[in-house]
Amino acid sequence: MGKKISMAVIRRLPRYYRYLADLLRVDIKRISSKELSERMGITASQIRQDLNCFGGFGQQGYGYNVETLYKEIGKILGVERRFTTIIIGAGNMGNALANYENFRKRGFDLIGIFDINPNRVGQYINGIEILHMDKLEDFMKKNVVDIAILTVPSHIISEVAEKVADLGVKGIWNFSPQDLKLSHNVVIENVHLSDGLAVLGYRIKDLEQELA
Amino acid sequence: MGKKISMAVIRRLPRYYRYLADLLRVDIKRISSKELSERMGITASQIRQDLNCFGGFGQQGYGYNVETLYKEIGKILGVERRFTTIIIGAGNMGNALANYENFRKRGFDLIGIFDINPNRVGQYINGIEILHMDKLEDFMKKNVVDIAILTVPSHIISEVAEKVADLGVKGIWNFSPQDLKLSHNVVIENVHLSDGLAVLGYRIKDLEQELA
DNA sequence: TCATCTTTGTGATTTTTTTGTCAAGCTTTG
DNA sequence: CAAAGCTTGACAAAAAAATCACAAAGATGA
């Protein structure tokens, strides 16, 4: 019955969602796969095939209703459901993420921030008090935490990951350069910012050689 | 002659590079595609094929010399060449990136930080003074800047991008939620952190349904 | 209302990516 | 130094992803 949808498609959904939000903002009511393809720089065919994985949102001769499509993709991504998150590691990156307003709009509610540094504990970020890691277990017993955002140093990442997994998080967003792998039934997304930068470097070198 | 190497392969290189760095750190001298495949969770066949795109670094019956391979991949990625970078936008994310020590190790040297906020201008991050955007043009005429890291609000992103492109950057690392597209010969990597989070949300929902 | 246009959804086709297989060749060991 | 054991590189096969192409159906406009 449920034909599995490929990750390639899933990873494009947030991008569709962003473009649709842009259209909504400028009050465009309908859009054809052709026009969207021009804006996004992908083929119309791919757009139609992607969207069709989730059901026929379009209408022949008309295209897609922007608002409907936006809501549908939001539903697929879980914006409606909402997820609670905590940040562990209130360093520079943790701080930046805690201040990122967009997450809330996309369905993610930050409900706790933890650190081990006594200078940080007790401070507030974006209205949320930084708690000591000692309080983590207690906190997670009193609150449902869907996602742990880990911005801790590499050398403790797996220890912290194991801990939050044991305490019942459903997903981990890992910002440490160390890849994470757990046995638990926990979904993991590893970020690796510098990988993107490295690819940028490669592409620059490549372009230079091509032009030379 | 030069058969083009696919992006799929390129995007895996930084990951190989990280794993090799780990091996070096624990003083492992040689590694077979088989063992590396077990550590990385991909097939040995893929590793051999990936590495072979750039030349035969391995040796039958022995495997790959970790140090050699590490250096070779570093060369491919441009670590040897090094790139100069500036950060535009000294907000939370700009601040976090400016403090990220790993970039230097990976071949990227931060040489300037710019902002428009008078409270930020004059402050130092990681030993670098935040300059006012007014100084950007002058700075870029006196210094070769390879990469501009843009952590500015969406509504000014394309303006800033155009500017740095005109002033000669070769690459842009874009952290604004708005996709960038320029006509110039400038390489662009869009980051979109929240897309990753959205995918995490999807995968959690998906797993829950599967288990239900 | 009818004819023309537009645009979707879908199956077929092509391209790309990943995986499997094995001869060739180096390493290791006694 | 010969035999046994590994492991690569290359090619073939399979799988996955992207693109093409078109019938079907609604939209538009006279």
Distance CA B165, CA B161 (A): 6
Nearest to B187 by CA among B49, B78, B70: B78
Each residue's pLDDT, cut to its tens digit, for chain B (212 residues) gives 356 899 999 999 999 999 999 999 999 999 999 999 999 999 999 999 999 999 889 999 999 999 999 999 999 999 999 999 999 999 999 999 999 989 999 999 999 999 999 999 999 999 999 999 999 999 999 999 999 999 999 999 999 999 999 999 999 999 999 999 898 899 999 999 999 999 999 999 999 988 87
B212 vs A: CB within 8 A: no
Within the 167-186 window of chain A, which residues sit less than 8 Å (CB to CB) from chain B?
A: 170-171, 173, 177, 179, 181, 185
Angle between helices A44-52 and A33-40 (to 10 degrees): 110
For residue A154, what is the enclosing H or E element? helix A154-166
Nearest neighbour of A204 by CB, restricted to B76, B97, B171: B171
Contacts of B146 in chain A (CB under 8 A): 204
For A51-116, the DSSP string reads HHTT---EETTTEEEHHHHHHHHHHHHTTTT-EEEEEE--SHHHHHHHT-THHHHTTEEEEEEEES
Q: Which two tokens stand for residue B157?
A: 């992103």
B207 with A185: Cβ contact below 8 A: yes
Reported pTM? 0.95
A108 vs B: CB within 8 A: yes
Distance CA A16, CA A26 (A): 16
Q: Which two tokens stand for residue B108?
A: 């990227």
Distance CA A188, CA A176 (A): 12
pLDDT at A1: 39
pLDDT digits over B1-19, tens only? 356 899 999 999 999 999 9
Q: How many contacts (CB atoms, under 8 Å) link A and B?
A: 178
Q: Which two tokens stand for residue B153?
A: 């609000």
Nearest to B126 by CA among B141, B147, B153, B108: B108
Selected for mutation to probe chain A from B70, B145, B199, B208 (highest A CB count within 10 Å) is B199
User: How would you list the strands of the sheet with A108-115, edge to edge?
Assistant: A124-125, A128-132, A108-115, A83-88, A147-150, A171-174, A187-190
Contacts of B103 in chain A (CB under 8 A): 194, 197
Supply φ then ψ for residue A72, to 5 degrees: -60, -45
pLDDT at B3: 65
A205 vs B: CB within 8 A: yes
